[in-house]
């Protein structure tokens, strides 16, 4: 902006006739003044281009700053919170992960067809155990689908 104000001041002085350059003689030379005006105009154009570039990049920068704050805010909140609360949260997370890892999948009864060959039907039933129970005695979970949109089940 300093170049702009300098250009405007030189331009106003030239228009008012206050800026006259005398060389070695008494003759008035305007070539130096024209060169100064050209330099000032060039600096003005350069400053206007820089201003347009800055105006174009300001919204992009503000958006990037907002994204940074949105992602860093939870960490900042956690860091400014008490250490005891953070440790309690970590203990709960570790405890839930350990309990999840400690769970075992239920084992299914094994069926060995070789042990059943030549046996009577009552031995087959005792060998199969709960797998030979009728359906009304066995535990059966019935899940009915719930439509997420109207017309899914039609």
Q: What are 51-69's pLDDT values in tens digits?
A: 999 999 999 999 999 999 8
pTM above 0.85, yes or no: no
Provide φ and ψ at 122, rounded to 5°: -70, -35
DSSP string, 129-146: GGGGS-TTTS--------
Residues 124, 116 contacting (CB under 8 angstroms): yes
Q: What tens digit of pLDDT does each residue of 119-145 get?
A: 555 555 555 554 445 544 445 455 555
Helix (H) or strand (E) holding 148: none
pLDDT band at 74 (very low <50, low <70, confident <90, very high): confident
For residues 74 and 50, the model is more confident at 50
């Amino acid at each position: 902006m300093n170049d702009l104000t300098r250009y405007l001041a030189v331009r106003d002085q030239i228009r008012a006739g206050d800026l006259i350059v005398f060389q070695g003689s008494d003759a008035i030379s305007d070539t130096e003044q024209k060169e100064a005006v050209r330099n000032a105009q060039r600096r003005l154009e350069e400053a206007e281009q820089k201003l347009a570039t800055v105006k174009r990049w300001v919204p992009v920068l503000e958006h990037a700053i907002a994204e940074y704050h949105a992602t860093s805010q939870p960490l900042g909140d956690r860091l400014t919170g008490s250490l005891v609360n953070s440790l309690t949260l970590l203990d709960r997370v570790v405890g839930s992960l350990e309990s999840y890892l400690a769970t075992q999948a239920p084992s299914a009864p094994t069926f060995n067809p070789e042990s059943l060959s030549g046996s009577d039907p009552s031995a087959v039933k005792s060998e199969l155990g709960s797998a030979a129970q009728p359906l009304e005695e066995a535990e059966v979970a019935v899940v009915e689908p719930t439509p997420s949109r109207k017309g899914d089940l039609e």
